[in-house]
A and B are shown apart, each in its own frame.
Chain A
């Protein structure tokens, strides 16, 4: 029941919040914070009980949903999804505390949306049934849509529409592909199934070099949905607009978690489901990833708006992850997964910081700043630490991920490695140039004292940033504390990619309630029996 608990507790809490009178904003905030911390605590229990030695699905829960179609309520956790779930449950309370003062209208709706969004995101990472995944994947769009549309900036309608059209377009293709796979399962086994575990077993015909064969078409259908979500070049233009118009918490959740639903999709669906097509077309994705790294960095460099700069830096960073995943070796995949977490921490932190300064000056135009370091020293120190993490200075989290990705890329081809490594230089260039213009030099028009003197971070804001800063160094100095949990799953994915299978962990996880285990076993048995 742990997975159901961690998935649906936020939804239950959202309903509870909905019962609180709208005027009780303080109560709503405190309750949301406590609730989100409870969810985080549940996810920590997951970590504590997680068996690191296996690549099999743990804590699996499976109940029939639409048995005629083989659709089930099927949740499972492995080393690929574990930290993404924890990232989600970790960022949610950070966001709630971070938006304590910045969200002042429709407080109830905001917190309810955020908690519903949490359910949708966690559900996407845990769903092992393709239809269930699709439901969560789509559900996540709705609260996000409102977050930008209601609490967003002046061009929010434009941005939300762009965001919605792009992502809907992609996921529709994916839905068609899922339905095709359900039929394919019916054709081979005689029964419908939407279980990923069954999908993995399908042999989907593949012809190298042409498009019109099932595996290639399915591969691209899924890849398109996830590529838009990531977003990969050239499907990225919705992202800067969405970020600029989104309120700070929306940006944090968008960059911190929602983009990872795309890269996670590549790891969970695209690469293991369509191994031949993924292998054959890897060059294309590495190429687009490399273009994304360089293009994102170059365009970030010339942005006049801090937030847009950070948004384009995401395009560059997500390019690294794509390249790492399609390197299809253990270094690239590990680095890719780690970079998903790093990006969640660092870019989440950057958006929070940009939000904090925006609350003070109501501007994000770089030219209006200058000399901020003198006015806001604590803010500056935190911003510099996060910058170092973002440009992957060793001893921060960013370095571990970027190093492993580059190592994996280099193993595929020296040329790819050399192109990818230019991102190391360009990343430093756009971030440090921005830092120079915003923080150093003489005081800019927004920093001068005459209008309203700027106040450095207050205790609440420091508390919001503290866990992120701790993670920057913890993940940078002791990556094994995290990677040990993912090792078995990643190695399993890389080593058996051509005939990827996922089993359900049958032996009781340490300390797991026996009832859960037997339930899992029986579900697995029924699944076996159907064949």
Chain B
């Protein structure tokens, strides 16, 4: 943090004043516009406006002085903007629960009004989006704060914070929009910011390519999302969430595959697989680790990638009306959870391990949504935001300390050097492997139990979840062991040091949340004995439809399943500890035993190779052929043929084409006159 001071004199005062002037002018314009549109507005409108626009102002402020190397100023403004949003979120949620939990809404202006389509810039806080805005702005503020230290040595901290604020703005649009179109605005907006931030260090071709890959892959999902919007609009005549949900209930349950609601849900789910990195569109997320690590924490773990889950939860009555799609969601989620976890077992880059872990954990959320356990999906979304943001920031702290090194083979025994990072990472580790009473235990347990018990679930889905949990415990323990425990493999010349307070405070807060975050959703089998209510379930009542046909389960079964998953995860963690701390030679032997399988997994099942080799490269090659054969050889040849024929007739014409403006005008006039003469004759 202290290292920024010497940059001050470098920033030319002329530039600063110019950008400041522009900022003042633009702000005045914006404020004027907002003031105008808020005539006769209520306090709620004001809260909504401030909540949304604080990050936008931060973006403008830092965006206009993007050349400034002053990380302290940029970071402070950006963090404050995020914090203002957080305060407004809290106020809004308090106001809402004070008023009996009825949703609060604000309509700002009509956006698109064409035919029967009428879309307004309308926003809504209900119990579902309340959780989202608290997580986004809360965790968001912490990550902004962390970034101040993390980006202090960067060339372009102002640009970075501008993008980060812009992301926050779009993410809030996404979750607060009261209709599909406003959500889509945020949906593509966060994708854009993700693109800009992944490719933040764009001079590196690979990083720029990763950003591009993220955007284009997401666009495939977005195309599906658009088709979903179209289907719903022509079915229900509206794009408003509450109306869609109401009509979906009226329409009743669709059993086949070709029904309009089923189709709409399938289209929307394609969108979700893009944004939330599920099979088959998950391939962009591991590459997205090219971005600065706090970005991975905020965008690629805690918030943006959960948008797909949020969208399904927001439309839960619609998805319940299309149970076939829910089955697809559950299977895709479950398989993604296992597949990504298995890749995580073999990665050596600290961020790649966390990235595949994120894909896997998102799979759990979809598994939950797919069995109708929307509350559990939101619960896991929230706890995951805490512990995964924590671990990403922790990895950032490690990378920062290691001068940019990300290979865990070159780490080890960092627990002494980085005590706070280690301690908080340790809490995150316990949370993600599902040890009671840490946050991840409660949310993951609820998902496993309901995927077994829900009428929409199946024991095989539970089994997928269980296998995923066992693998999670293994790869996370492996990560802990290789990074913090065992013998040091740190190369000479690197002297890891603990990060400054601005970076460790967010770690500590998130560490605390990773411990207690799950206590708001304690299951009845445990809560009953301890006289603790399930606060979250209570909170979401009414906002989320219950699982249809859910019978009260047997407490014994629930406890037994819980015991199985916790003990298997524990055994798996101990096994990983043995492999990577006690007997470090063991993993190599094991890998050699199953060389073929190991290669398959460590090469990520060759999915990228398949996409590039079989889809993208042939498409580019085919396009070259199209251009060469259709345009150049076919259409143009045809044209020449025609023109040659014309030339035979038109040798006279050539003599009159002498490039004289007046003469051409004359010819046209003559032509018109001749035509008129012909007509009059």
Contact = CB atoms under 8 A, between A and B. Distances in A.
A403 B112 CA distance: 10
B675 A179 contact: yes
Interface in B75-124: 109-115, 117
B232 to A, nearest CB: 11
Contact of B112 (A295, A388, A480): A480
A138 B668 contact: yes
Given A299-B626, A410-B230, A411-B234, A334 B676 contact: no
Contacts of B620: 301-302
Interface string A480-500: 100100010000000000000
A175 B674 CA distance: 12
Interface in B396-416: none
A441 B205 contact: yes
B389 to A, nearest CB: 27
A407 B623 contact: no
B234 A410 contact: yes
Interface in A59-102: 66, 68-69, 71
Contacts of A15: none
A165 interface: yes
Interface residues of B, number: 64
B646 A165 contact: yes
A21 to B, nearest CB: 19
Contacts of A237: 631, 635-636, 639
Contacts of A330: 114-115
A266 to B, nearest CB: 19
Contacts of B665: 139, 142
B672 interface: yes
A47 B514 CA distance: 59
A69 B680 contact: yes
Contacts of A388: 192
A404 B216 contact: no
A280 interface: no
Contacts of B117: 331, 407
Interface string B547-565: 0000000000000000000
Contacts of A422: 223
Interface in A459-482: 477-480
A282 interface: no
A133 B161 CA distance: 54
A433 interface: yes
A146 B661 contact: yes
A69 B681 CA distance: 11
Contacts of B646: 165
Interface in B636-681: 636, 639, 643, 646, 659, 661, 664-665, 668, 671-672, 675-676, 678-680
A149 B660 CA distance: 11
Interface in B321-342: none
Contacts of A183: 679
B622 interface: yes
- For B181, B199, B646, the residue with the greatest tally of chain A CB atoms inside 10 Å of its CB is B199
A424 B192 contact: no
Nearest to A297: B623
Contacts of B115: 329-331, 334
Contacts, number: 163
B227 interface: yes
B222 interface: yes
Given A142-B664, A142-B665, A440 B203 contact: yes
A302 B226 contact: no
Interface stretch (B182-190, B477-485, B497-505, B515-523): B182-190
B458 interface: no
B627 interface: yes
Given A142-B664, A410-B234, A298 B192 contact: no
A153 interface: no
A395 interface: yes
Contact of B220 (A404, A414, A425): A425
Interface stretch (B207-215, B431-439, B576-584, B601-609): B207-215
A400 interface: yes
Given A410-B227, A441-B202, A175 B664 contact: no
Given A394-B189, A395-B185, A403-B226, A428 B672 contact: no
A308 to B, nearest CB: 10
B212 A131 contact: no
B66 interface: yes
Contact of B188 (A393, A400, A406, A479): A393
Given A131-B672, A179-B679, A478-B109, A441 B208 contact: yes
Contacts of A429: 216, 219
B24 interface: no
Contacts of A399: 188
B203 A441 contact: yes
A436 B626 contact: no
- For B184, B626, B631, the residue with the greatest tally of chain A CB atoms inside 10 Å of its CB is B631
A525 B110 CA distance: 41
Nearest to B217: A425
A424 B676 contact: no
A214 interface: no
Interface in A287-325: 295, 298-299, 301-303
A497 B192 CA distance: 40
B233 interface: yes
A175 B675 CA distance: 9
Contact of A394 (B184, B205, B234): B184
Given A302-B623, A406-B230, A440-B208, A432 B631 contact: no
A483 B668 contact: no
B280 to A, nearest CB: 14
B636 A142 contact: no
Nearest to B186: A394
A476 B568 CA distance: 54
B114 A334 contact: yes
B342 to A, nearest CB: 29
A161 B114 CA distance: 42
A166 B680 CA distance: 29
- For A166, A330, A393, A483, the residue with the greatest tally of chain B CB atoms inside 10 Å of its CB is A393
A145 B559 CA distance: 83
Given A142-B668, A165-B643, A441-B205, 20 more contacts: A113-B661, A161-B643, A166-B639, A237-B635, A295-B630, A298-B626, A330-B114, A373-B202, A377-B66, A377-B67, A399-B188, A403-B226, A411-B230, A418-B227, A421-B223, A424-B226, A439-B202, A441-B202, A442-B205, A480-B110
24 contacts: A69-B680, A113-B661, A142-B664, A146-B659, A165-B639, A175-B675, A237-B636, A295-B630, A298-B623, A298-B626, A330-B115, A373-B202, A394-B184, A411-B230, A414-B231, A418-B227, A422-B223, A424-B226, A429-B216, A436-B208, A439-B202, A440-B208, A441-B204, A480-B112
Shortest 5 CB-CB contacts between residues of A and residues of B: A440-B208, A441-B205, A298-B623, A440-B202, A410-B230
